Amino acid sequence: MTADDLLRVVHLAVDLLAGAPAGAWEGRAGSLEWTCRETADHLADDLFAYAAQLGPRRPPLTDYVPFAVSVRREGAPVETIRTRPEAGPEGLLQVVEACGALLAAMVRTAPPDVLAHHGFGDADPEGFAAMGLVETLVHTYDLAEGLGLTWEPPADVCARVLDRLFPDAPGDVEPWPALLWATGRAELPGRPRLTEWRWYSAPRD
């Protein structure tokens, strides 16, 4: 998992989402309880937060970098980063792309063996790249469902995300359906949709 992988997927996602009708962003994002606008802000916030974890010279290993957070409304995502509403969909996607670029820059510049805290396992820069990728891949799927778009991400990236973060994912199906199953967004033949799921972000031996 590399910074180039991350930028490739973020750019593909932003290009797809730029084609959504401007009035559709207040609808629900797929199966989520959030609106499409809230989901895009959440994606940007995730990318920013992962970049921030790699920023200190001695990254935290017991908690997250203590930025203040807020909630737009009850049930909405907890955020540090939020787009100004008057910026519209174009501004929203600029924030997503900017936060993706911040994470890519940190993945490139952080020492490759440094570790920083995450609740699913302290991760190295490659792990944070993989986490940024899974957030972008699956939340773009949520957004595409809500906005009436079709999202077909690169199979090679999906396969490597599965290998890095989801060691128990099925290997007998295509990578993208397997990733949707592993993140609780779809069922597979003989495998019901997951109601609880997680990834494993600690470096693999």
CATH code for the part of the protein at 3-160: 1.20.120.450
The answer to whether the CB of 40 falls within 8 A of the CB of 17 is: yes
Whole-angstrom distance, CA of residue 55 vs CA of residue 65: 9
Q: How do residues 187-202 score in pLDDT, each as one tens digit?
A: 999 999 999 999 999 9
Check pLDDT > 90 for residue 72.
no
27-44: pLDDT as tens digits? 999 999 999 999 999 999
List the chain domain ranges.
3-160
Looking at the chain, the whole-number percentage of residues with pLDDT higher than 70 is 100
pLDDT of 121-155, one tens digit each?
Answer: 999 999 999 999 999 999 999 999 999 999 999 99
Give the C-alpha separation, 71 to 86, whole Å: 18
Residue 12: both structure tokens together? 């593909």
Length of the chain: 205
Return the closest-CA partner of residue 131 out of 146, 116, 147, 145: 116
